[in-house]
């Protein structure tokens, strides 16, 4: 019988604790197996960064550069033009980000010349703004920022050296841009033995920089993310007692009921062979990143987890994990991580929209060293949500079935 541990891609030799992903990539660039995809990435990067070296091209005069050549709709401030990520001879053609992602999800080839394309070669027209880290990490990343490439490092935090995790945005490939710290998470075990993560915008996890929390059920199969608000049951107790405000930490929002920012559930595969099933729901947001409805339940039946169990999913966006394919030659379940993952782990996963799988991987998480994972994600997730979903994958007890 195969265990879920066999979910993997090709294995590179592990190395001792690199300090950053860049260091890891430099150290292991020769030891990593070269996939056709990573060759494509490398050549695309060369074309994009050294225009002088690009081959001479025929001018494409017939192309109307005011509209997307896939959907023929005009470009706008919110839906900006992207250069076609064609590795062949197509220049001057522009598309919408979502249109080309949907196209590549179906065919993988250039819509104009049918040559190879690579979504990772697309230069985003928007970047994340770090002037206000707290609001940047809580907002969905802009649709036009494309795929945001990050990595997660496992660290030991606190007096009892519990596991903690830190999230970094990777400097753009082919530049000297430094990596940017985004979030840190600290795990606490509660009295009832369920896990609770607090998430901060400082590496030192200062209480006044906490942006939210994630809690799990006893079985470690359901995880809910919250902002800094309070559990409505605790608020009721505080109000009954007349005064319980001395129990509040500095990051607590005194009597504000907490907002639910998402929920992840894990389920063993029914046949008990093969990978676990993962479901994620977040409150709906539009393409500009505005939420249509804030989920702040006072009644347990309105909690996202309870709505997921009865299928009442109005105003929620649903994601599922991509099902790995069993490969006879490797004797294992495999996902194509496009060269971004190099170690087998049951924690590896790819999340797709259950309504619009053509958007491709909304979140991809995979191990690259004993204590390091790559985390690539895109709209509609916020850095906080993407990080919390990955923490749940690291924490779920279904991993050790
Ligand atoms: Zn379009
Ligand atoms: Zn082309």
Between the CA of 51 and the centroid of ligand 2 the distance, in Å, is: 16
Domain with CATH 3.20.90.10 in the chain: 4-29+127-400
- pLDDT at position 242: 60
Q: Determine the straight-line distance between the first and last CA of the chain, rounded to whole angstroms.
A: 13
* 36-121 CATH: 3.30.40.10
CATH for the 4-29+127-400 domain, from 3.30.450.20, 3.20.90.10, 3.40.47.10, 3.30.2130.10: 3.20.90.10
Give residue 148 CA to ligand 1 midpoint distance, Å. 21
Q: What pLDDT, on the 0 to 100 scale, is given for residue 173?
A: 65
**CA dihedral angle for residue 275, residue 335, residue 25, residue 153, rounded to 10 degrees:** -30
Q: Return the beta strands (E) in 80-229 as ranges.
A: 82-83, 94-95, 148-157, 162-169, 180-189, 195-200, 210-216, 222-226
In 312-356, DSSP assigns E strands to 316-321, 325-327, 332-334, 349-353
Look up residue 198 and give its two tokens: 């607090």
pLDDT value for 41: 29
Give the model confidence (pLDDT) of 277-289 as tens digits. Answer: 899 999 999 877 8
**Predicted ipTM of the assembly:** 0.86
Find all residues with CB under 8 Å of 380, minimum gap 6, and list them.
Answer: 140, 143, 282, 285, 289, 317, 362
pLDDT tens-place string over residues 238-248: 777 665 455 55
Q: Where in the chain is the domain with CATH 3.30.40.10?
A: 36-121
Residue 106 Cα to ligand 1 midpoint, Å, equals 15
State the pLDDT at residue 329: 80
- pLDDT at 228 > cutoff 80: yes
Q: Report residue 11 as tokens.
A: 């294995």
Ligand 2 centroid–CA 107 distance in Å is 13
pLDDT > 70 in the chain, percent: 72
Instruction: Select the more confidently predicted residue: 61 or 223.
Output: 223
Structural contact between residues 216 and 195, judged by C-beta atoms closer than 8 angstroms: yes
Report the pLDDT value the prediction gives residue 36, as an integer from 0 to 100. 32
Q: Is residue 37 scored above 50 in pLDDT?
A: no
Flag whether pLDDT at 97 surpasses 80: no
**CA–centroid distance, residue 67 to ligand 2 (Å):** 17
Residue 34: pLDDT over 70: no
pLDDT, tens digit, for every residue of 79-96? 778 888 888 778 778 888
CA 287 to ligand 1 centroid distance, Å: 14
- Structural tokens at position 59: 């001018």
């Amino acid at each position: 019988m195969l265990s879920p541990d066999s979910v993997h891609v090709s294995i590179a030799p592990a190395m001792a604790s690199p300090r950053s992903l860049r260091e890891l990539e430099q150290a292991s660039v020769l030891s990593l197996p070269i996939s056709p995809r990573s060759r494509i990435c490398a050549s695309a990067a060369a074309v994009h960064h050294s225009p002088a070296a690009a081959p001479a091209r025929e001018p494409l005069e017939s192309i109307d550069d005011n509209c997307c050549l896939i959907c023929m709709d005009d470009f706008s401030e919110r839906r900006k033009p992207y250069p076609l990520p064609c590795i062949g001879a197509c220049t001057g053609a522009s598309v919408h980000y979502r249109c080309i992602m949907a196209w590549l999800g179906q065919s993988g080839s250039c819509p104009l010349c049918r040559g190879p394309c690579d979504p990772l070669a697309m230069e985003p027209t928007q970047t994340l703004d770090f002037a206000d880290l707290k609001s940047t990490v809580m907002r969905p990343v802009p649709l036009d920022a494309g795929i945001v490439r990050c990595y997660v490092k496992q660290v030991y935090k606190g007096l009892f050296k519990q596991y903690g995790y830190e999230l970094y945005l990777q400097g753009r490939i082919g530049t000297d841009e430094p990596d940017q710290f985004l979030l840190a998470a600290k795990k606490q075990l509660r009295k009832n033995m369920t896990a609770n993560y607090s998430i901060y915008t400082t590496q030192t996890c200062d209480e006044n920089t906490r942006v939210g929390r994630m809690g799990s059920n006893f079985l470690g199969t359901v995880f809910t993310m919250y902002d800094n608000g309070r559990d409505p049951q605790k608020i009721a107790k505080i109000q009954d007692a007349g005064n319980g405000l001395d129990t509040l930490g500095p990051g607590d929002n005194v009597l504000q009921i907490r907002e639910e920012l998402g929920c992840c559930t894990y389920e063993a595969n029914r046949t008990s062979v093969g990978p676990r099933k993962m479901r994620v729901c977040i409150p709906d947001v539009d393409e500009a990143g505005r939420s249509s409805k804030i989920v702040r339940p006072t009644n347990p039946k309105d909690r996202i987890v309870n709505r997921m169990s009865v299928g009442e999913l109005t105003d929620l966006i649903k994601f599922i994990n991509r099902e790995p394919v069993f490969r006879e030659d490797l004797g294992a379940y495999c996902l194509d991580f496009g060269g971004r993952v190099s170690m087998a782990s049951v924690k590896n996963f790819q999340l797709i929209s259950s309504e619009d799988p053509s958007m491709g991987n909304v979140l991809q998480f995979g191990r690259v060293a004993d204590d390091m994972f790559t985390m690539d994600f895109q709209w509609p997730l916020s850095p906080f949500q993407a990080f919390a979903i990955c923490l749940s994958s690291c924490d779920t007890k279904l991993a050790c079935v």
